[in-house]
């Protein structure tokens, strides 16, 4: 605490130069916002879990944790997380090696396809696969049953296996992208010298390439694990009907069933603590794994690696890749798109069954849907702008001002990265529903605050990356030319990081636009978000309208990505 | 009155003291080079002068006005000091054109638009960049960016500009050209220049006075380039300025003796006996101020054996063993060819033309015998 106080009121900073006013104000303001939006919710979860009316209370936590239903949810969470990680890593590695190290054709096209699962929320995938493989109503199962004449479906998506499949489809790009970039940056002479020394191709892959990209694999795999453990949408859509619960869906059910009662929220908080423990355990394992392998031989610049000739296997491998990418990426989007035009779910997919009525309903008649689109737009743009500036402020303090206490600021801004969205939502409820005299429950502001906390890490990282490019001498040159500190920021620093700021905005706007996990606990009667609306319509059984609305969301997201592409294209002079 | 006066200043980063008790006056209109090895605190000195870091003791005055002081605490903001700065990495703003870069200081100081434009144009013409006014820095070469930075500094202050290693990143030919141009500009405009560099050769060609700083941030010598070169204050400055030979010597009556590696004393005939205290001495010489006499030629105060002969094009470089010590000698190629290039292993005579004597460290192992 002492270092903290000196930094607030304090004498010398670590760089020896002390700037009054603006810098210290920015530091304190960032710290204050982070404490309120990020730290307070976490503290409140712990406090509410282990204290009741001011007295320590372990009994509730123990009871909730030991409840058989909850234990099975924990087991499901771990099982699904583990399986998704294993399959996602294998799939990601396979494609990464094909694209990074083999002479397979159509690399650009395939790489572009891999970014698609990144763009859309996994619960769209769950909806789409449910359309195809729900045990009785799914189109594929119906075709199969009419073909065989039996009543046994081909596959049942409403199972743990189904959940694992859909999550794998959406999370394998984590490993893929990490490993591809590591392979591209790896010095090819490392492999070439092994070949010259007489090692065979397979030996080089096992003994040279794989160990070198191991840190990248580990990083990607842990990202999958953490994402899967905290994930809500897919198990919610595919698991509820068969009573398959994971920790996040169980927390949601508890809170929903309690209908806002305090004890229900406390139980939800208790499960949240458990969920955070699981995530922290996963992060700890990641640290252990990453510590064992840090290699500097992976260089920053990209080089032309030695490509492995696939020869006879080229065409079959290309076929398998394209087919699997088609199934993983294109088919679900197509299903959602086409079902959105159906008169009723279950009708054969023929031209005469298509209609625009669903769009008329969702965009015209349903006030709830229109409100949700407006809400999501306001929330995404609003939290995008605010969080982006917050990220710039924090990054500026950490990189340029460097006061004592910057470590704390950095930690707080990166913390939300590893907090599941649902846990954050519960924390935000606990802080902002009157506990400190402010009640924002059922207003749009409570979602706004949660979004700031949820996306501040993205904004901070994106702003840091561009601020690090601005050497401090550029600002000092402006100072020596007669510009005040504020003027040097306005004339030099801000214009130079503007492209990074715009990219940072979209990094928040895009996920916020399709967000479900956090808002599903925070929405009120008039503050549904687009994600919540799709989820609600879908779970009410109005599949065609849900698909139509999902198509609208897909359109908005694609548009956003196109704008992002346009904004971040190569610039001259910067 | 000196334009800059630093009195007993100390600068530190946290607990790391970079400069301790440094005092320095800069005269108006002079071209002062601050020279020292890398990381000796030259840049820190510049940053303290410009107001980018605070000093923890002492006082800096600009035109007689205190701008930095430890007690009472005074730190005038960098923008109020009116110092033009050329940074090591040029710090030319990449999003401004050449003209916008150069006119920026005038805009900030609220100079009327027409006058600002005129002055910026004049500065651009001065550094021969007028035709590039609308280019972005990314479209310029390193040397051109450096000119832009120089023009911006000149526009920024007509009194004092500080150049921090401004030409280190340029190639050798361009470096020479720029050094000459900076010198020329300074003479034309009469602005005071503080030129910070680790390159003592450039410093000599460019400056009126040199300040030699050592690795610990202390000033070892201040003086005109020829004074510093001819009379280095101490052994450290002598060796910092260029390749040097140090041979152990001892007093012998009124003269001096060379101490061989075996501990034998060979009398050295020196033209003038330099004044120097102490018994254990080191005789310093430059490779170009040692003359060698071939086998059969008469002359040389000491005898030696040629150990290595390297042809450098314009010069020959010899390693000569003198009494067990290696002496490096350089001889003009023309002269070497004229008198015959000595064979490796052949004996020769060695004459030290302008040797300097410095007191040796008390524990120098060469005097152990």
**Which fold would CATH assign to domain A11-57+355-574?**
MetI-like fold (1.10.3720)
Question: Which of B15, B49, B78 to substitute to test the interface with A, most A CBs within 10 Å?
Answer: B78
Q: Is A476 on the interface with B (CB under 8 A)?
A: yes
Give start-end residues of each CATH 1.10.3720.10 domain in chain A. Answer: 11-57+355-574, 59-339
Predicted confidence (pLDDT) per residue in B213-241, tens digit: 999 889 999 999 999 998 898 899 999 99
Q: B35 pairs with which residues across the strands?
A: B197, B212
Predicted confidence (pLDDT) per residue in B264-289, tens digit: 888 776 655 566 777 788 889 999 99
- Tell me the pLDDT of chain A (574 aa) as tens digits: 344 444 444 333 333 344 457 788 889 999 999 999 999 999 999 998 898 877 888 888 898 888 899 999 999 999 999 999 999 999 999 999 888 888 888 888 888 888 788 788 899 999 999 998 888 788 888 888 888 887 788 888 889 999 999 999 999 998 998 888 888 777 777 778 888 888 887 888 888 888 888 888 888 898 899 899 999 999 999 998 888 999 999 999 888 887 767 778 888 899 999 899 888 888 787 777 666 555 555 554 555 666 777 788 888 999 999 998 888 888 999 999 999 998 888 888 888 888 888 888 888 888 889 999 999 999 999 999 999 999 999 999 998 888 888 889 988 988 887 889 999 999 999 999 888 888 888 899 999 999 999 999 989 988 998 898 888 899 999 999 999 989 999 999 999 998 888 888 988 998 999 899 999 989 888 899 999 999 999 988 888 999 999 999 999 988 988 888 887 775 543 4
Tokens encoding B336: 């070497």
Predicted confidence (pLDDT) per residue in B48-90, tens digit: 999 999 899 999 999 999 999 988 888 899 999 999 999 988 8
Handedness of CA A259, A264, A268, A271 (dihedral sign): negative
| Cα distance between residue A485 and residue B75, in whole Å | 14
Q: B68 pairs with which residues across the strands?
A: B60, B75
| Cα distance between residue A522 and residue A559, in whole Å | 27
CA neighbours closer than 13 Å in the CB half-sphere of residue B353: 11
Q: How far is CA A285 from CA A290, A414, A552, B85, in A?
A: 9, 18, 40, 51
The distance in angstroms from the start CA to the end CA of chain B is 54
Cβ separation A471–B137 shorter than 8 A: no
Q: How far is CA A183 from CA A4, A98, A222, A306, B130, in A?
A: 42, 11, 19, 11, 47
Superfamily designation of domain A59-339: MetI-like (1.10.3720.10)
Please, are residues B266 and B323 in contact by the beta-carbon 8 Å criterion?
yes
The stretches of chain B forming alpha helices (DSSP H) are: 42-50, 98-108, 113-126, 142-156, 172-189, 200-206, 225-230, 235-241, 333-339
Residue with tokens 């800096």: B60
Q: Is B79 on the interface with A (CB under 8 A)?
A: yes
Whether the per-residue pLDDT at B308 is higher than 50: the answer is: yes
The distance in angstroms from the start CA to the end CA of chain A is 41
* pLDDT for residue A572: 41
Whether the per-residue pLDDT at B134 is higher than 70: the answer is: yes
Structural domains present in chain B: 4-237 (3.40.50.300), 255-361 (2.40.50.140)
Tell me what the pLDDT averaged over chain B comes to. Answer: 88
| Cα distance between residue A242 and residue A259, in whole Å | 22
What's the pLDDT band for B295 if we cut at 50, 70, 90?
confident
Cβ separation A477–B50 shorter than 8 A: no
CA neighbours closer than 13 Å in the CB half-sphere of residue A143: 7
Whether the per-residue pLDDT at B3 is higher than 50: the answer is: yes
* pLDDT for residue B273: 55
Residues of B in contact with A494 (CB under 8 A): none
A20 CA: distance to closest CA in chain B (Å) = 11
Given B11, B54, B87, which is nearest A477 (Cβ)? B87
* pLDDT for residue A99: 87
Please, are residues A374 and A362 in contact by the beta-carbon 8 Å criterion?
no
* pLDDT for residue B183: 87
| Residues whose CB is less than 8 angstroms from the CB of residue A64 and which lie 6 or more positions away in sequence, other chains included | A70, A267, A270, A271
B219 CA: distance to closest CA in chain A (Å) = 22
Cβ separation A471–B12 shorter than 8 A: no
| Cα distance between residue B270 and residue B256, in whole Å | 8
Reduce the DSSP state of residue A27 to 3 states and report it: helix
Residue with tokens 């500036």: A389
Output the DSSP codes for A149-213.
-SS--S--SSSHHHHHHHHHHHHHHHHHHHHHHHHHHB-HHHHHHHHHTT--HHHHIIIIIHHHH
Reported for A268-271, long-range contacts at CB under 8 A and 24+ positions apart, including other chains, are: A268/A426, A269/A45, A269/A48, A269/A49, A269/A426, A269/A430, A270/A49, A270/A60, A270/A61, A270/A64, A270/A65, A271/A64, A271/A65, A271/A70, A271/A73, A271/A247
* pLDDT for residue A297: 52
Reported for A281-285, long-range contacts at CB under 8 A and 24+ positions apart, including other chains, are: A282/A81, A282/A222, A282/A225, A282/A226, A282/A229, A283/A222, A283/A226, A283/A418, A285/A222
Choose among B66, B90, B86: nearest CA to B7.
B66
Question: Which of A402, A472, A481 to substitute to test the interface with B, most B CBs within 10 Å?
Answer: A481
Q: Which residue is closest to A482 within chain B, CA to CA?
A: B79
Q: Is A149 on the interface with B (CB under 8 A)?
A: no
Q: B32 pairs with which residues across the strands?
A: B194, B209
Q: Is B116 on the interface with A (CB under 8 A)?
A: no
β pairing state of B65-69 and B57-62:
antiparallel
* pLDDT for residue A6: 40
| Cα distance between residue A342 and residue A548, in whole Å | 9
Handedness of CA A332, A335, A338, A344 (dihedral sign): negative
| Cα distance between residue A117 and residue A173, in whole Å | 7
Residue with tokens 């998704």: A84
Output the DSSP codes for B195-211.
EEES-HHHHHHH-SEEE
Sheet holding B290-293, edge to edge: B290-293, B347-352, B302-311, B315-322, B325-332
Given A482, A495, A574, which is nearest B105 (Cβ)? A482
Dihedral in degrees, nearest 10, Cα atoms A240, A244, A247, A251: 30
Choose among B87, B233, B223: nearest CA to B153.
B87
* pLDDT for residue A570: 55
Residue with tokens 């510590």: A291
What does the H/E/C string look like for A344-365?
CCCCCCCHHHECCHHHHHHHHH
Cβ separation A480–B156 shorter than 8 A: yes
* pLDDT for residue A1: 39
| Cα distance between residue A183 and residue A97, in whole Å | 8
- Prediction ipTM score: 0.84
Q: Is B327 on the interface with A (CB under 8 A)?
A: no
Higher pLDDT among residues A16 and B336, named by residue: B336
Whether the per-residue pLDDT at B254 is higher than 70: the answer is: yes
Given B13, B94, B149, which is nearest A15 (Cβ)? B13
Chain A 17-56, CB below 8 Å of chain B: which residues? 17-18
* pLDDT for residue A531: 93
**Percent with pLDDT over 70 in chain B:** 97
């Amino acid at each position: 605490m002492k270092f903290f106080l000196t930094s607030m009121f304090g004498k010398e900073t670590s760089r020896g130069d002390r700037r009054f006013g603006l810098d210290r104000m920015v530091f304190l303001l960032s710290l204050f916002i982070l404490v309120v939006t990020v730290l307070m919710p976490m503290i409140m979860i712990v406090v509410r879990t282990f204290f009741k009316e001011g007295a320590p209370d372990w009994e509730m936590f123990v009871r909730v944790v030991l409840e058989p239903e909850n234990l099975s949810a924990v087991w499901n969470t771990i099982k699904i997380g583990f399986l998704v990680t294993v399959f996602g890593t294998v799939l990601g590695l396979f494609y990464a090696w094909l694209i990074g190290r083999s002479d397979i054709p159509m690399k650009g096209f395939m790489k572009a396809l891999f970014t698609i699962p990144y763009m859309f929320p996994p619960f769209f995938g769950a909806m789409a696969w449910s359309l195809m493989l729900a045990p009785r109503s799914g189109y594929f199962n119906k075709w199969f049953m009419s073909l065989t004449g039996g009543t046994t479906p081909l596959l049942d998506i409403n199972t743990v296996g189904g959940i694992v499949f859909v999550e794998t489809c959406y999370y394998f790009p984590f490993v893929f992208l990490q490993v591809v970039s590591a392979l591209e940056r790896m010095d090819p002479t490392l492999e070439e010298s092994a070949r010259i020394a007489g090692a065979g191709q397979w030996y080089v892959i096992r003994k040279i390439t794989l160990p070198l990209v191991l840190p990248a694999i580990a990083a990607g795999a842990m990202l999958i694990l953490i994402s899967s453990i905290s994930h809500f949408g897919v198990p919610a859509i595919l698991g509820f009907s068969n009573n398959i619960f994971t920790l996040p869906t169980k927390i949601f059910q508890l809170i929903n069933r309690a209908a806002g009662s305090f004890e229900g929220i406390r139980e939800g908080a208790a499960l949240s603590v458990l969920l955070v423990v699981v995530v922290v355990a996963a992060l700890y394992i990641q640290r252990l794994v990453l510590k064992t392998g840090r290699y500097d031989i992976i260089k920053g610049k990209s080089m032309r690696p030695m490509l492995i000739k696939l020869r006879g296997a080229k065409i079959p491998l290309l076929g398998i890749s394209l087919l699997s990418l088609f199934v993983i990426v294109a088919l679900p989007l197509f299903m959602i798109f086409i079902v959105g035009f159906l008169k009723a779910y279950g009708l054969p997919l023929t031209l005469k069954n298509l209609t625009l009525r669903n769009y008329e309903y969702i965009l015209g008649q349903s006030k709830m849907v229109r409100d949700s689109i407006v809400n999501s737009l306001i929330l995404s743009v609003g939290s995008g702008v605010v969080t982006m500036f917050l990220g710039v402020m924090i990054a500026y303090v950490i990189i340029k001002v460097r006061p004592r206490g910057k470590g704390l600021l950095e930690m707080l801004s990166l913390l939300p990265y590893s907090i599941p969205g649902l846990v954050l939502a519960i924390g935000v409820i606990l802080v902002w529903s009157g506990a400190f005299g402010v009640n924002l429950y059922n207003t749009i502001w409570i979602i706004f605050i949660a979004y700031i906390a949820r996306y501040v890490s993205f904004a901070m990282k994106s702003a840091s990356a561009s601020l690090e490019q601005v050497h401090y001498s550029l600002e000092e040159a402006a100072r020596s030319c007669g510009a005040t500190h504020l003027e040097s920021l306005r004339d030099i620093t801000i214009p130079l990081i503007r492209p990074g700021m715009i990219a940072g905005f979209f990094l928040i706007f895009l996920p916020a636009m399709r967000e479900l996990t956090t808002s599903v606990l925070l929405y009120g009667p008039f503050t549904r978000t687009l994600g919540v609306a799709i989820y609600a319509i879908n779970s009410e059984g109005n599949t065609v309208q849900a698909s139509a609305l999902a198509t609208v969301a897909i359109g908005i997201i694609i548009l956003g990505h196109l704008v992002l592409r346009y904004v971040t294209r190569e610039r001259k002079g910067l | 009155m000196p334009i800059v006066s630093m009195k007993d200043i100390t600068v530190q980063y946290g607990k790391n003291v970079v400069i301790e008790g440094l005092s320095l006056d800069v005269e108006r209109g002079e071209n002062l080079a601050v020279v020292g090895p890398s990381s000796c605190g030259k840049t820190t000195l510049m940053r303290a002068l410009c107001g980018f870091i605070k000093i923890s003791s002492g006082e800096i005055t600009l035109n007689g006005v205190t701008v930095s002081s430890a007690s009472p605490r005074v730190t005038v903001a960098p923008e109020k000091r009116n110092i033009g700065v050329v940074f090591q990495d040029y710090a030319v703003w990449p999003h401004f054109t050449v003209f916008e870069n150069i006119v920026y200081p005038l805009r900030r100081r609220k100079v009327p638009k027409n006058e600002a434009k005129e002055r910026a144009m004049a500065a651009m013409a001065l550094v021969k960049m007028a035709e590039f006014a609308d280019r972005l820095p990314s479209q310029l070469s390193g040397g051109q960016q450096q000119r832009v930075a120089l023009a911006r500094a000149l526009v920024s202050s007509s009194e004092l500009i500080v150049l921090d290693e401004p030409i280190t990143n340029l190639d050798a030919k361009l470096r020479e050209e720029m050094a000459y141009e900076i010198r020329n500009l300074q003479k034309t405009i009469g602005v005071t220049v503080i030129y910070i560099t680790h390159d003592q050769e450039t410093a000599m060609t460019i400056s009126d006075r040199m300040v030699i700083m050592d690795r610990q941030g202390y000033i070892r010598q201040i003086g005109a380039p020829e004074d510093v070169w001819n009379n280095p204050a101490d052994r450290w400055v002598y060796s910092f300025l260029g390749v040097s030979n140090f041979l152990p010597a001892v007093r012998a009556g009124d003269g001096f003796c060379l101490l061989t590696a075996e501990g034998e004393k060979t009398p050295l005939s020196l033209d003038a006996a330099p004044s120097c205290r102490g018994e254990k001495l080191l005789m310093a010489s430059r490779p170009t101020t040692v003359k060698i006499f071939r086998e059969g030629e008469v002359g040389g105060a000491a005898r030696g054996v040629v150990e290595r002969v390297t042809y450098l094009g314009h010069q020959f470089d010899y390693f000569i063993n003198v009494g067990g010590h290696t002496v490096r000698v350089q001889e003009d190629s023309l002269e070497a060819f004229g008198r015959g290039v000595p064979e490796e292993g052949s004996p020769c005579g060695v004459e030290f033309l302008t040797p300097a004597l410095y007191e040796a460290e008390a524990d120098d192992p060469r005097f152990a015998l």
